[in-house]
Amino acid sequence: MKVLDSSAFINEYHSEDDIATIPLVREELTDESGYRFDAMEGAGMRIHIPDAGTVERVERAARETGDLAELSDTDVRLVATTFELDATLVTDDYAMQNVAERLDVRVEVIARDGISEQRDWTFQCAGCGREFDENKDRCPICGSDLARKNPS
């Protein structure tokens, strides 16, 4: 089974496998891609709503990798759906790929190259330069903004 992100509908992805997605994806689509969603739903595409516990597990994994701030609610729920259905996530989103890899969820990319390695991001304070493993609204030491930093 394949679980489709909005990029799959936008890029006219086709598969012979059973497919699924979540209702939030439809809200992201406009024009022809929205019509493709509707047609695929009418043809038997499964619409799945993940359990709250699985959503929390994905959020924890995203927090651990440093990708949580990059993911929308739709993204988190797509990864959770893919995890629950033991499926393959079809997406071009790098943050989703990184979190999926952390959870041993298979990923298929569409129009871009996939990630080459999983990353655990760190966050650096713009003011005092301290680094943190988790993203916060502000530096707890000096109050400056934090920026996501590629781990060395």
CA distance 64 to 15: 32
**pLDDT given at position 33:** 84
**pLDDT given at position 150:** 64
Give Cα separations from 83 to 58, 113, 137 (angstroms): 9, 22, 29
Residue 113 lies in a domain: no
pLDDT tens digit string along 40-97? 999 999 999 999 999 999 999 999 888 998 899 999 999 999 999 999 999 989 899 9
Question: CATH no. for residue 151?
Answer: 2.20.28
Query: What's the structural domain count of the chain?
Result: 2
Q: How far is CA 117 from the centre of its chain?
A: 16
pLDDT tens digit string along 3-41? 999 989 988 888 899 999 999 999 988 878 888 899 999
Pair 77, 147 in one domain: no
DSSP codes, 77-121: HHHHHHHHHT-EEE---HHHHHHHHHTT-EEE-SSS---SS----
Pair 128, 63 in one domain: no
pLDDT tens digit string along 127-147? 888 877 776 777 888 888 877
Pair 104, 48 in one domain: yes
Burial class (CB in 10 A: 0-12, 13-18, 19+), 137: exposed
Q: Please list the helix, strand and coil fractions of the chain in percent, rounded to the nearest 5, in that order.
A: 40, 15, 45
- The H-or-E segment that residue 21 falls in is strand 19-21
Residue 129 lies in a domain: yes
Pair 131, 69 in one domain: no
Pair 37, 103 in one domain: yes
Pair 7, 73 in one domain: yes
Q: Which of 103, 68, 87, 61 is nearest to 8 (CA)?
A: 87
CA distance 125 to 11: 38
Pair 6, 71 in one domain: yes
Pair 102, 34 in one domain: yes
Residue 137 belongs to what domain range?
A: 121-152
Q: Is 41 helix (H, G, I), strand (E, B) or coil?
A: helix
Pair 100, 127 in one domain: no
Residue 66 lies in a domain: yes
Residue 71 lies in a domain: yes
Pair 38, 68 in one domain: yes
